Structure 1
Amino acid sequence: MKQQPFVGFLLALITAMAWGSLPVALKQVLVSMNAQTVVFYRFLTAAIVLLILLGLSGKLPKLRQFNLYYGRLAIIGVLGLAGNFFFFSSSLKYIEPAVTQIFIHLSSFIMLICGVVFFKEKLGLHQKLGLMVLIIGLGLFFNERLAFLVELNQYALGVLLSIIAATVWVAYGIAQKLMLRQFNSQQILMMIYMGCALVFAPTASLSQVAALNHLGVICFIYCCANTLIGYGAYAEALNRWDVSKVSVVVTLVPLFTILFSHILHFFYPIYFANPELNMISYIGAFIVVLGAMLSAIGHKLFKKNSNI
C-alpha cells in the first residue's frame, strides 16, 4: 500500500489514545464485574466482528492451512493474550490506571530479548540504552512508593500483576510472529480471540452485566469496542506508515492514560480518581516513554556498526 504519513499518524494516534483510555474505563466496569467476565465479553465481541468481516471478504482461514505446528502456536498465542488481558484487568483492582500502563513497554523489551535468544536477532546499542533509560524512569515514577513494592500489600500485588501481564503478552507476540508465515494478522487475531473467549467462557458470569449502572454500561461497551478500535487502527497504521514511526506514537500510551485520568477526574470527580503522582513521578513517566522511543528509532542516531 502507498505510504500515507498523515493518515498513518492519525491511526497510530487513535491506537495510543484507545489503549491509553482503556484502563480508565475498565476500572469503572470492574466495580460490578469480575475480570474474567469482562475479558470474556471483550474477546467474544472482537471475535464475532472479525469473523463477520473476514467472512464477507472471503478471507477466512482455510483448514488446509492448519497443521500440528500452527495449532500449537495458536494455543500458545491464546494462553499469552488471555493471560495478558486477565492479569492486566485484575491489576486494576489494586492500583490506579496510570500505574498499570507504565509497564506496557516491558513487553517490547522482553520481545527484544526473546528475539536475540530465539530468532538470533542483534541487540543494538540504542536498544540497550533505551532499556537503561526505561529502568531509570521506572525508579523515578515509583519514587514515593518504593517501600510499598517490597511489602506484601495490595499495591505490590497490583504492580506484580501488571508485570506478569506484560510478560505473558510476549508468548502471544512470538506466536503471532511465527504464524504470520501462514496467516495474515486479521486471521490470527480472529482465531486467538475465539480461543480466548472459549478459555473464559466457563468462568464468566453473564448476569453481572445487569449489575452495571449507566456509567458502567457506557464504559463496558467502550471496553468491548476498544479491542477492535485499538488493534484495527494499529494494523492500518502499519499499512500506511513506517513501523518505527508508528511505534514512537504508540509509546505515548502511558501519557494518554495519565491525561485521560486527569480530564475525567476534573469533570466527574465522584467516579474517576485523580492520579496520585508527584512531579518526580511525572518526570519518570516521560523518561519511560523516552526510553521506549529510543529503542524504537534510536538506530537513526547511531551507526549500523554499533550493533553487537
Structure 2
Amino acid sequence: MKQQPLLGFIFALITAMAWGSLPIALKQVLAIMNAQTIVWYRFVVAALALLFLLAYKKKLPEARKIGQYGWLAIIGVLGLAGNFLLFSSSLNYIEPSIAQIFIHLSSFGMLICGVLIFKETLGLHQKIGILLLLIGLGLFFNDRIGTFSGLNQYSTGVILSVSAALVWVTYGMVQKLMLRKFSSQQILLMMYFGCAMVFTPMADFSQVSALTPFALACFIYCCLNTLIGYGAYAEALNRWDVSKVSVVVTLVPLFTIFFSHIAHAISPEHFNAPELNSISYIGAFIVVCGAILSAIGHKLLPSHKIK
C-alpha cells in the first residue's frame, strides 16, 4: 500500500490515546463490576465486530488451518486472557498512571524472547533501551521503594500489572508464529472468541444493571476501546512504517498521565489526580525514551549489532 505518513501518524496517535485513556475509564467501572465480567464484554464486542468485518471482506480464517494451529491458538488465548484480566485487576489496587508504566515490559519481553527462541540479534540500541527502562522505572518509583518491602495493596497492584505485561509476551510470540498462515485480523478474531469462551463461566451478567449512567458510559467506552485502539493500529501499520508507528505508540503511559490530570480537573469527584512527584515524571519520560530508542535506535546506530 502507498505510504500516507499524515494518516499513518493520525491513526497511530488515535491508538496511543485510546490505549492511554482505557485504564482511566476502566477504573470507574471496576468500582461496580468485577474484572472477569468487564473483560468478557470487551472480548465479545470486539469478536463480533471483527467477525462481521472479515465475513464482509470474505477473509474469515479457514477451519482447516485453525485446526492445524489449534494448540498454538490455545496458548495465545491464555496469554491474552491473562493479560486483560491481570491488568484490569491491577486497577483495583493502583492508579492508572502507575499500572500503565509497565506496558513497555511487553515489548522488551518480546525482544528477549526473540533472542532466546528465534536467535535474533540484540542491537546496542536495544540494550541501551533496556537500561533506560530500568533506570526510568527506578526514578518513577523513587518515593515508593519502601512499599515493595512486603505484600500490600500497592505492591499487589504492581505485581499484577507487571504480570499482565509479561503474560502478554506469550500472546505476542504466538501471534508472531501464526502470522505465517493468518492475517493479524484473523488471529485477533480467533483470540477474541477464545478469550470470550474462557471468561463465560466467570462472568456475572447481572452486574451491568447496577451501573450508574456515568459508569455505564465508561463501560461502553471500555468495550469500544478495543475496536478503536486495535483498528486504528492496523490502519496505521497499513499507511506508515512499523518503526514510526511504534514510536508514537510508546507514548501510551504519558497519555495516561496527561488524561488523568485532565479528567481530575474536569470531574475531581470521579477521577483522582496522579500521585507522582517531579522525579516520577522524569522517570516516566526516560521509560518512554528507552522504548523509542529500542524502536528506531537502529537508524541512529545502524552498524552496532551485538549478538
- Same structural fold, with TM-score higher than 0.5 when normalized by the shorter chain: yes
Matches of 1:51 and 1:299, distance apart in 2: 38
SS in 1 for 2:102: coil
**1:149 to partner: Cα distance:** 1.6
**1:57 to partner: Cα distance:** 1.4
Deviations 1:209-259 (A, max 9, x none): 011111100000000000011011111111110011000000000000000
**1:307 to partner: Cα distance:** 2.9
Q: After superposition, where does 1:101-112 map in structure 2 within 5 Å?
A: 101-112=100-111
Aligned to 2:82: 83
Deviations 1:97-141 (A, max 9, x none): 000000000000010000001111000000000000010000000
What is the identity, as a one-letter code, of the residue corresponding to 2:198?
Answer: V
Aligned to 2:221: 222
Aligned to 1:198: 197
Matches of 1:130 and 1:56, distance apart in 2: 42
What is the identity, as a one-letter code, of the residue corresponding to 1:149?
Answer: F
Aligned to 2:296: 297
Aligned to 2:281: 282
Deviations 1:172-210 (A, max 9, x none): 001011111111111110111000000000010000001
Matches of 1:81 and 1:64, distance apart in 2: 23
Q: Is 1:159 paired with 2:148?
A: no
What is the identity, as a one-letter code, of the residue corresponding to 1:144?
Answer: D
Q: TM-score, normalised by structure 2?
A: 0.99
What is the identity, as a one-letter code, of the residue corresponding to 1:232?
Answer: G
Matches of 2:94 and 2:115, distance apart in 1: 33
Q: Is 1:92 paired with 2:91?
A: yes
Given that 2:32 and 2:211 are in contact with CA atoms closer than 8 Å, whether structure 1 keeps it comes out as yes
Matches of 2:228 and 2:105, distance apart in 1: 23
Structure 1's unaligned 5+ residue stretches are none
Matches of 1:306 and 1:90, distance apart in 2: 39
Give the 4+ runs in structure 1 shifted more than 4 A: none
Aligned to 1:20: 20
What is the identity, as a one-letter code, of the residue corresponding to 1:158?
Answer: G
Matches of 1:270 and 1:221, distance apart in 2: 20
CA RMSD, 1 decimal: 0.8
Structure 2's unaligned 5+ residue stretches are none
Identity of aligned residues (%): 70
Q: After superposition, where does 1:1-308 map in structure 2 within 5 Å?
A: 1-68=1-68, 70-308=69-307
What is the identity, as a one-letter code, of the residue corresponding to 1:49?
Answer: A
- 12-21 or 56-65, which deviates more: 56-65
Matches of 1:201 and 1:63, distance apart in 2: 23
Given that 2:122 and 2:305 are in contact with CA atoms closer than 8 Å, whether structure 1 keeps it comes out as no
**1:305 to partner: Cα distance:** 4.0
**1:304 to partner: Cα distance:** 2.3
Matches of 1:150 and 1:75, distance apart in 2: 36
Deviations 1:158-181 (A, max 9, x none): 000000000000010010111111
**1:301 to partner: Cα distance:** 1.3
**1:151 to partner: Cα distance:** 1.8
Matches of 2:31 and 2:212, distance apart in 1: 10
**1:64 to partner: Cα distance:** 2.4
- 81-90 or 51-60, which deviates more: 51-60
What is the identity, as a one-letter code, of the residue corresponding to 1:66?
Answer: I
Q: TM-score, normalised by structure 1?
A: 0.98
What is the identity, as a one-letter code, of the residue corresponding to 2:115?
Answer: V
SS in 1 for 2:225: helix
Matches of 2:66 and 2:131, distance apart in 1: 41
Given that 2:39 and 2:84 are in contact with CA atoms closer than 8 Å, whether structure 1 keeps it comes out as yes
Matches of 1:150 and 1:238, distance apart in 2: 42
SS in 2 for 1:304: coil
Given that 2:121 and 2:305 are in contact with CA atoms closer than 8 Å, whether structure 1 keeps it comes out as no
Matches of 1:155 and 1:286, distance apart in 2: 22
SS in 2 for 1:105: helix
Matches of 2:203 and 2:64, distance apart in 1: 33
**1:73 to partner: Cα distance:** 1.1
